[in-house]
Amino acid sequence: MTVPPTGRYGLLAIPAPGAASVTMRYAALSQRDRFNPAAWAPQALVEDAASPGWWNIDLDAMGLADGVYEYEFLLAGNGTPIADPYADTITRFGGYRGLFRISGNIRVPQQFRWDDEFNQAYPLRQNNQIVIYELAVKLIENDPAESNPLAELGTFEKLIFERLDYLVNLGINCIELLPIEDTSQTLDWGYGTRFYFAPDFDMGTPIDAKFFIKSCHQRGIRVILDVVMNFYHQTCPLNALSPVPGWFSVQSGTDGRTDFGQILFRYNDPSYGNYFAAREFLYQMAEYWVKEYHVDGFRIDDFADIKNWEFGQGFRQCAWAASNANFPGKPFIVIAEDSRRDFAETGPAAYNGSPVVDAIWNFGFRDEIRALALDQITTVYGQPSRTERVQHLLSQQGVWNPDYGNGHFDPGFSDLACSVAYATSHDVADAPRLMNTILGSILVEQGLGTNTVANIRSVIDNPPPDLRFTGAIAFALYRVFGVFALLMTAVGIPMFYAGEEFADVHDLDNLDVNKKQQDPVQWARAAYPGQAALLTGVANLVRLHTRHPALQRNEISFFYFHPQFDDNAGCRVFGYARTAGNGIGNTGQVIVLANMGAEKFPVYVIPNWPWGGRPLTEAATPGAPGPMPPPVPVYDGISNSLTLALDAFQVRVFTS
């Protein structure tokens, strides 16, 4: 597939239903020093007789000299230039417009060599073997020397040369990029797409984006793109070519859909005849990024508001077909951000006998693991016990859903690769960074101040000399590690947001719609002693997940809950194992012992220890001793029990 969707790269086609005429004006980019679009050479487009409303121009038949040209379109009676919605390279000078390249009198793509892309020593891992690192390219950069919390524009170049090796050392094997398709804003998350076939102008060129993806693949790291398909921005050329309601769009509020101030795509009825223009546009987009950029999957933003399983399934099938055709055997995934928490769409026969998507973000996991980390899961008469809720949280069973007072368990999922489990994502308004959540609660509980963004930032960057503050920070870091330990050993694909691995905190108000999108990762904090220790521990957990076979299967067995675990004032100790499909107590298993309460246990006895006297290896620690040094567990063969220390909110991970 090439862009535009005509079957030939030199034959451009744009939609302009109802236009009396369409003209392209163009100029060699080398003539930019005499920039005057009104004087550019015009060339009329021809309306497609077989498809009225589509207008074509054959660049290969124009006899153009070799070079790079900028171009834009004019509709009859409208003097405002319109860019090509299918432009795969864009320029910005007095507005945005597309670029095309001529060599030998025909249009050619810019050359890029992929022959050194894959490395047998670092293969791309399957969906059940990945740990996803969610990253906003624009927010990877700041200037700590200026003590400026605001982001300085991140680019593909900076990501390649300043951050990629860091991610390799962290053990990451999959990156999920917030939208990189060109957006209308400079410093934001990118959810206002303008050009769907071109990388964001501010992030870098198509060559930069391709080199980033190739560099990831050379290191065994997959790349998933977050794509916006519920709506498009008003500055997208589709809006000028086919105004609302049109071929591609419906009125705001149609079918109860939320547009967040943008323009809803039209999915439910054909644009004309049997042609669904919006669906085809986005199918072509998927094919293009798979073929030309070699991406390894997509994350569909705001899937719940699309409200069309037929389109979602078609998108998945189209993307998978493109990947299989161009890269047979390469792993691929389509993930939905579905706030409805509907795992039914991942089922093997969800719609017309096949899945709608491969996986969804597990919103329930996010909420429930935070409640567990703060000891806020309560036992309520007539509702499932705390034991049941923890079992559901960490397994394939559906997570507890409070559902506005009508609580129930969500449906479960058929395979771990259907659930993207996370505690924090970019959407920090609903769930702030873990360190803000946990340290903020500690500061309030201990009377050390408020849980505001400004106070937490001050305590982290400039701790008061009072030892209570340094103790609070150390305790919070310890608890963040515990959340990571549960995340990395639960059944699902683990994901975390950039900076969480060293407990970064907010610099700007996470509830402000603009400021939260301009809050960069403060990498300098990774060098703070406690944060550096946490980073080491998280890296150990990431490697455990990506390397241990037991964590790449669905089996989990809960072998211990304290007898008073379900009492609201009871002990919070429990244990589970990822058994690798073997009976509990065998070798090759991952064992987790967790104390998710405030009570400290210098000595704790686990009865009926399934592994007997088998040697254990502590798989990961926070990287440095926590509030209570973890002694080596001792097995008593007479009582068949294991004795160890469990500090408050400590999670210990072992392998047998």
Helix (H) or strand (E) segment spanning residue 54: strand 54-58
pLDDT tens string 56-81:
999 999 999 999 999 999 999 999 99
What pLDDT is recorded for position 149?
Answer: 60
Q: Is the pLDDT of residue 2 over 80?
A: no
Domains 11-107 and 555-655 share a fold: yes
What pLDDT digit, counting tens, does each position of 528-540 carry? Answer: 999 999 999 999 9
Cis-peptide, bond into residue 610, ω within 30° of zero: no
Least confident of 95-104, 119-128, 514-523, 540-549: 514-523
The gap from C-alpha 161 to its chain's centroid, in whole angstroms, comes to: 21
Mean pLDDT over 29-36 rounds to 97
pLDDT for 4 equals 47
The pLDDT > 70 percentage for the chain reads 96
pLDDT tens for each residue of 563-574: 999 999 999 999
| Predicted pLDDT at 146 | 55
3 state DSSP class of 654: strand
Averaged pLDDT, 605-614: 97
% of the chain exceeding 90 in pLDDT: 91
Tell the burial category of 31 from Cβ atoms under 10 Å away from its Cβ (0-12, 13-18, 19+).
middle
Mean pLDDT of 600-620: 94
pLDDT at 620 over 80: no
367-380: pLDDT as tens digits: 999 999 999 998 88
Give 620's contacts (C-beta < 8 A, 6+ positions apart). Answer: 485, 537, 540, 541, 544, 653
More confident residue, 290 or 138: 290
Q: Is the pLDDT of residue 171 over 60?
A: yes
Tell me which residue of 135, 337, 300 sits closest to 226, measured CA to CA.
300
Confidence band, pLDDT 50/70/90 cuts, at residue 419: very high
Q: What pLDDT sits at residue 143?
A: 59
Tokens (6 digits) for 489: 């050993």
Q: What is the mean pLDDT of residues 253-268?
A: 96
| Alpha carbon distances (Å) from 45 to 8, 81, 415 | 16, 15, 51
CA distance 192 to 634: 57
619 pLDDT band, cuts 50/70/90, is confident
Residues counted in the chain: 656
pLDDT above 60 (res 628)? no
Domain 555-655, CATH class in plain words: mainly beta
pTM equals: 0.96
Q: Which of 138-142, 239-243, 251-255 has the lowest mean pLDDT?
A: 138-142
Task: Report residue 3's pLDDT band, with 50, 70 and 90 as the boundaries.
Answer: very low
Structure-derived torsion over alpha carbons of residues 194, 200, 201, 203, reported in degrees to the nearest 10: 160
User: Mind listing the pLDDT tens digit for each residue in 351-369?
Assistant: 999 999 999 999 999 999 9
| Alpha-carbon span 319 to 294, nearest angstrom | 11
Distance of CA 184 to the CA centre of its chain: 20
Domain boundaries defined on the chain: 11-107, 555-655
Which carries the bigger pLDDT value, residue 6 or residue 552? 552
pLDDT at 187: 81
* Residue 621 pLDDT: 75
Confidence of residue 7 (pLDDT cuts 50, 70, 90): confident
For the chain, the average pLDDT equals: 94
- Considering only the C-alpha atoms of the chain, give the largest distance between any 2 of them, rounded to a whole number of Å: 94
pLDDT tens digits along 37-52: 999 999 999 999 888 9
Grade residue 582 by pLDDT with cuts at 50, 70 and 90.
very high
Task: In whole angstroms, give the CA distance from residue 102 to residue 185.
Answer: 30
- One-letter amino acid for residue 601 of the chain: F
Q: Quick one: average pLDDT of 163-188?
A: 95
| pLDDT score for 144 | 55
Per-residue model confidence (pLDDT) at position 185:
85
Q: Which 8-state DSSP code applies to residue 198?
A: E
Class of domain 11-107: mainly beta
